[in-house]
Amino acid sequence: MSGDPNGASLGLTEDTQNPTLLSAPTPSRSGLTRRYGDFTSFAAALDYAAQGESGFNIYSGRGQLLEALPYRTLREQAISMAQRLLGLGLAAGDRVAIVAESDGDFARIFFGCQYAGLVPAPLPLPVAFGGREGYVSTLRGMIQSAAARAVVVPDVIGSWTSEIVEGLDLVFGGSPADLYRHAEANVELPEIKSENLSYLQFSSGSTRFPMGVSVTQAAGMANARAIARDGLKVYAAEDPRDDRCVSWLPLYHDMGLVGFFLTPLTCQLTVDLLPTREFARRPHVWLDLISRNRGTIAYSPSFGYELCSRRSGQADLDLSCWRIAGIGGDMIRHHILEGFAERFESNGFDARAFVASYGMAEATLAISFAPLNTGIQTDTIDLRTLEKDGLAQPSNDPSHALRTFVLCGEALPEHEIEVRDPLGNIQPERHVGCVFVRGPSLMCGYFRRPEETEAVLDADGWLNTGDLGYHLNGQIVVTGRAKDLIIINGRNIWPQDLEWSAESEISTLRSRDVAVFSLETETGENIVALVQCRATEEESRNTLRDEVTSLFRRQHGVDVQVILVPPRTLPQTSSGKLTRARAKTMLLSGQFDLQTEPTNSAA
């Protein structure tokens, strides 16, 4: 256990036995009149929330309460932290990189930066990286991109600190406990204005050239307000019902940071936080915490629901309290959600609780929400018509190749969504094009990257999201990333169509076991599928390869070179999404172990 000499709790571990911290979590009801993000800054939002009873509760991966952190206590500790940060010689506007463990230390330092006028840059833990060397290299790239003056590394990777900060021009590089040993500056804290930068958000896929999304106080507050008031419709204080958030999502990713750290505080909600790095091993703890604490709002990408369905845990869960089971962070797999709803229906889970949403870090977080209490709404279309004509033609003909998409709702108030063709013309309903968005929560740009900013953000405030999609009944339907699209003989092929077919049709494959992309060759563009294989016997491996190759030919009419790779080697972003671009780079650079791969793979 690390700690402040004055007794403030820091960096608690699962083995902590401090009875004052293990008594009870903060209550759901704050006792305050509900305000929905109508503040000039996140510091002002914490000032108000601190007058109530709600707060953050930090849990271990086994569901043990490690620290109850009421917002009033967080405010006191954050102001103390602000003085310590300024005492290091940091000045308003300087960046502070924080490797974001889901704990009280992160909350104190992040909000310390808010009060001090500093700009925190949450950085990922090494959960989804291939190894220490690659992780440290990526982290250093982010630190340098942010031009950070201070770097805070949690104890869980404390032994890597010297590698992370070596040779960087810093006033501080160390642990939260090291930071608490520095004296407070005893200076007047600056006035935080709405136009000031609040934080930098690195894209979950940032690798070789990391770019930080610059989020102002005004943009962050606009998104938090729209999420709470309009998207989630958080209960008003006078309502006898209470909302409570439960999350395992990483605080270095926009869905975790904005959705389950900043937004709840701006509307005075209590949040129960689980460590991201423990979720894959014990996903049922998330459901147990929802059941135990009567959580009403919890989000996950599709794979999180899939993990819970596979590893169901105890049978005495009561999920009837869960009114918003949000989906975001990746392409939504409706069959996974259907399986989850069926598995937990007997535990009180209502499939109408599913809420699809669409967003990205460049828009702070949320862009659209599907209507509440309606569950997942889908659109099944003819895949060949989509590929050849860019038209989402509805079809239920079983003799045709079909694709089912999820509707992600209308744009949030004060925000707009357009679907455009390559010439910039607005597309009619069901015509696929590039998705553009505009609104008060958009980034002001990529930090110190004017050319990259100009490439995606025009003078009228429209952001090119890089996504493809279409409108249906006023709702946006996202079909994939433009950069991932494969064009073969005039057909637009979405790689996730092939990935999902293999993972759903072949019993030995799981979600995120397949990565599909194209390679340029002398004879044209070839499709490659990297498939994680757990079998060691050559016969079983050959059978899997043949099954996948045959499936692609039969269902999609394409020849694909199927390459088997070891389990747990396909790269993911820090938020858990498969990254095809990195998988392609790894293949071309020889980073996969392909010793057992035959030379005559199907092409």
> Of the candidates 483, 508, 531, which is a domain's last residue?
483
- CATH code of the domain in which 413 resides: 2.30.38.10
Statement: residue 139 has pLDDT above 70: yes
Higher local confidence (pLDDT), 477 or 328: 477
Mean pLDDT of 252-270: 97
Examine residue 406 and state whether it is found in any structural domain, yes or no.
yes
User: Long-range contacts: 156-162, Cβ < 8 Å, 24+?
Assistant: 156/101, 156/125, 156/277, 157/99, 157/125, 157/126, 160/132, 160/136
Range with the poorest average pLDDT among 311-320, 338-347, 547-556, 574-583: 574-583
Examine residue 408 and state whether it is found in any structural domain, yes or no.
yes
Range with the poorest average pLDDT among 349-358, 449-458, 534-543, 581-590: 581-590
Examine residue 180 and state whether it is found in any structural domain, yes or no.
yes
Mean pLDDT of 200-229: 88
- State residue 314's pLDDT score: 64
Say whether both 122 and 208 belong to one domain: yes
- CATH code of the domain in which 549 resides: 3.30.300.30
Q: What residues contact residue 308 under an 8 Å CB cut-off, 6+ apart?
A: 283, 284, 286, 287, 340, 343, 344
What is the DSSP annotation of 309-368?
HHS---S----TT--EEEE-SS---HHHHHHHHHHHGGGT--GGGEEEEEE-GGGSSEEE
Closest CA to 257 of 443, 164, 153, 120: 120
SS3 586: helix
Mean pLDDT of 104-129: 93
Residue 3 pLDDT class (50, 70, 90 cuts): very low
Q: What is the mean pLDDT of the chain?
A: 90
CB 477 within 8 A of CB 435: no
Residue 539 pLDDT class (50, 70, 90 cuts): very high
Read off the pLDDT of residues 42-94 as tens digits, 9 standing for 90 and up: 999 999 999 999 999 999 999 999 999 999 999 999 999 999 999 999 999 99
Say whether both 447 and 505 belong to one domain: no
- State residue 603's pLDDT score: 33
Statement: residue 129 has pLDDT above 70: no
Residue 488 pLDDT class (50, 70, 90 cuts): confident
Say whether both 444 and 519 belong to one domain: no
Say whether both 493 and 477 belong to one domain: no
Examine residue 372 and state whether it is found in any structural domain, yes or no.
yes
- State residue 400's pLDDT score: 85
Statement: residue 18 has pLDDT above 50: no
Read off the pLDDT of residues 515-535 as tens digits, 9 standing for 90 and up: 999 888 766 778 999 999 999
Say whether both 206 and 61 belong to one domain: yes
Planar angle of CA 239, 411, 581, nearest 5 degrees = 120
Statement: residue 316 has pLDDT above 70: yes
Q: Provide the terminal-to-terminal Cα distance of the chain, rounded to the nearest Å.
A: 56
- State residue 146's pLDDT score: 97
- State residue 101's pLDDT score: 95
Q: Is the dihedral of CA 538, 540, 542, 544 positive or negative?
A: negative
CB 56 within 8 A of CB 108: no
Q: Is the dihedral of CA 164, 116, 29, 51 positive or negative?
A: positive
Say whether both 117 and 221 belong to one domain: yes
CB 8 within 8 A of CB 1: no
Residue 100 pLDDT class (50, 70, 90 cuts): very high
Statement: residue 572 has pLDDT above 90: no
Say whether both 467 and 528 belong to one domain: no
Statement: residue 5 has pLDDT above 60: no
Closest CA to 365 of 576, 204, 573, 147: 204
**Helices 42-49 and 104-116 sit at what angle, rounded to 10 degrees?**
120
- State residue 151's pLDDT score: 98
Residue 583 pLDDT class (50, 70, 90 cuts): confident
User: Which structural domain, as residue segments, surrounds residue 383?
Assistant: 361-483
Residue 169 pLDDT class (50, 70, 90 cuts): very high
- Total-model pTM: 0.88
- State residue 406's pLDDT score: 96
Residue 128 pLDDT class (50, 70, 90 cuts): low
Q: What residues contact residue 542 under an 8 Å CB cut-off, 6+ apart?
A: 598
- CATH code of the domain in which 26 resides: 3.40.50.12780
Higher local confidence (pLDDT), 146 or 398: 146
Range with the poorest average pLDDT among 1-15, 347-361, 579-593: 1-15
Tokens of 138: 């990526």
Q: How many helices and strands, by DSSP H and E, does the chain display?
A: 18, 29
Examine residue 122 and state whether it is found in any structural domain, yes or no.
yes
Q: Is the dihedral of CA 87, 92, 97, 99 positive or negative?
A: positive
> Of the candidates 467, 483, 499, which is a domain's last residue?
483
Count of domains observed in the chain = 3
- State residue 19's pLDDT score: 36
Statement: residue 20 has pLDDT above 60: no
Higher local confidence (pLDDT), 545 or 512: 545
The Cα 101–Cα 110 span in angstroms is 11
309-to-200, 280, 338, 510 alpha-carbon distances in Å: 35, 12, 10, 12
Examine residue 339 and state whether it is found in any structural domain, yes or no.
no
Residue 589 pLDDT class (50, 70, 90 cuts): confident
Examine residue 429 and state whether it is found in any structural domain, yes or no.
yes
Say whether both 496 and 456 belong to one domain: no
Range with the poorest average pLDDT among 110-124, 177-191, 195-209, 227-241: 195-209
Mean pLDDT of 459-477: 97
- State residue 467's pLDDT score: 94
Say whether both 42 and 132 belong to one domain: yes
Of the CA atoms within 13 Å of residue 98, those in its CB half-sphere come to 33
Statement: residue 127 has pLDDT above 80: no
Mean pLDDT of 96-109: 97
- State residue 545's pLDDT score: 94
> Of the candidates 198, 213, 236, which is a domain's last residue?
236
Say whether both 517 and 460 belong to one domain: no
- State residue 401's pLDDT score: 86
**Helices 42-49 and 71-87 sit at what angle, rounded to 10 degrees?**
140
Examine residue 242 and state whether it is found in any structural domain, yes or no.
no
Say whether both 38 and 187 belong to one domain: yes
Q: State the CB neighbour count (10 A cutoff) for residue 482.
A: 14
Say whether both 440 and 496 belong to one domain: no
Mean pLDDT of 98-111: 97
- State residue 602's pLDDT score: 37
Read off the pLDDT of residues 347-388 as tens digits, 9 standing for 90 and up: 999 999 999 999 999 999 999 999 999 999 999 999 999 999
- State residue 575's pLDDT score: 60
Statement: residue 219 has pLDDT above 90: yes
